[in-house]
Amino acid sequence: MTARILSIGTAVPPAVLEQDAVRDLFASQPGIGRLSQRLVRAAFDASAIETRHTVLTELADALAGRSTATLADDPATAAERLPVVDDAGRLLSPPTGARNDTYIATAPALFADAARQALAEASVDPADVTHVVTVSCTGMFAPGPDYRLVRDLGLPTSVERYHLGFIGCAAAVPALRAAARMCAAQPEAVVLVVCAELCTLHFRVADDPDQILAASLFADGAAAAVVSADPSRRGERWLDLERFATAVTDDGERDMTWTIGDAGFEMVLSAEVPRIIGREIRDAVDGFLGGASVDTWAVHPGGRAVVDRVEAGLGLPADALATSRAVLRDYGNMSSATILFILRSLLQGDDLRDGETIATLAFGPGLTMEAALLTAGVANLEPVHADAALTEPVASWT
């Protein structure tokens, strides 16, 4: 029996960052050199991002011209208001512990909101969930988000829980693969996969080009998928999980990394990443597809340059990655959650066709490519006309 995605839910924090305003804030920091100012403007202007979402309400307040709150003003929400900018517009550098405290305070709600939407759209009662797979690389605590989902959604306390941590932007695909394996072993299983990333918690002021690039790209968001092989749970639309693949490039191990520093998690995302992907994408995808045809592409937009290199490397038409570019424009790079935003857009699109094949590609530290081949299903819900029913054979009464 084929495991399938029954629904996908998404959630973002209410605070919105306008890309131009964030650019100007970073470029105007005291002590920043002229070269770094040029790098900031170049990175932000080339990002193809217009808006992003953040849990950093103080940053959003500062950009909107509102006075930033202090921890003393509202101690009840101290953990939720990480001080990252002062009233003079100077970016601060809180320690990793304070950043992680904000993750603990704010991430569970995003996990739960995305999961509730996915369960509701799949018409799945929380009591029917048998497995939970959570994904995140931007914070950590125990008992973790998998445990919190059981409590916050009222899931059975006997639900099997798994957490995939620190895999990076590609992690949603291994999570879906794990869900498919669970359904193969237990066909009646209902697996809830939830990714939530608070990348903006780790913004920092730096002259390092890698940190500037990271600040221009990353955002906060969550997405959830309900996966099951039970045919009775299939709704009007679904995505069959046909096959998966992993490929590791010959180089790039040091070009995309994610480590824990004293002032937040530290991202290395060098300019070599798009070039490595562009150089190796054709062989990796050809090996994964094995000659299978692809109707639609869902590619994680690690950045505009990554999308451009994938498009060129695979020889795709100019509009082939339009959905990936739209998600990047409106939400930025939300790490692991991003690919599920893209799949949700395709799943709910007006032009989704029954039997449409979707190649899903995501990239993470390593440099690693995670891939999945999906087949869309669209139920025929058109009513049978009365005159057509008359042409059906009639059973004999004799």
**Structure confidence at residue 381 (pLDDT):** 59
Residue from 85, 56, 55, 58 nearest 69 by CA? 58
Sign of the CA dihedral running 281, 286, 289, 291:
positive
Regions of the chain where pLDDT drops below 70: 67-79, 381-398
Residue for token digits 């590619």? 299
Q: Helices 209-217 & 34-45, crossing angle to 10 degrees?
A: 30
User: CA separation (Å) from 83 to 58, 133, 219, 292, 331?
Assistant: 7, 31, 17, 51, 23
Angstrom distance (rounded) from CA 44 to CA 27: 10
Residue 333 DSSP symbol: B
Burial of residue 209, with CB atoms counted within 10 A of its CB: 0-12 exposed, 13-18 middle, 19 or more buried? middle
Residue for token digits 């996908």? 8
380: helix, coil or strand?
A: coil
- Count of residues for the chain? 398
Residues taking part in catalysis: 169
Residue 9 and residue 117 in contact, taking contact as beta carbons nearer than 8 Å: yes
**Structure confidence at residue 69 (pLDDT):** 53
Strands (E) in the chain, as ranges, are 4-11, 15-18, 51-54, 131-136, 160-165, 190-198, 220-228, 237-248, 256-261, 264-269, 296-299, 357-364, 368-378
Angstrom distance (rounded) from CA 204 to CA 151: 34
Could you tell me the end-to-end alpha-carbon distance of the chain, in angstroms, rounded to an integer?
A: 41
Residue 306 and residue 274 in contact, taking contact as beta carbons nearer than 8 Å: yes
**Structure confidence at residue 68 (pLDDT):** 57
Residue from 169, 173, 96 nearest 139 by CA? 96
Residue from 84, 60, 75, 152 nearest 114 by CA? 152
**Structure confidence at residue 393 (pLDDT):** 32
Angstrom distance (rounded) from CA 275 to CA 282: 13
Alpha helices in 227-354 (DSSP H): 272-289, 304-313, 322-331, 338-347
**Structure confidence at residue 111 (pLDDT):** 98
**Structure confidence at residue 168 (pLDDT):** 95
Residue 239 and residue 296 in contact, taking contact as beta carbons nearer than 8 Å: no
Angstrom distance (rounded) from CA 93 to CA 394: 78
Angstrom distance (rounded) from CA 118 to CA 6: 8
Task: Dump the DSSP string for 142-154.
Answer: SS-HHHHHHHHHT
Q: Which two tokens stand for residue 362?
A: 């995501």
Residue 76 DSSP symbol: G
- pTM for the structure as a whole: 0.92
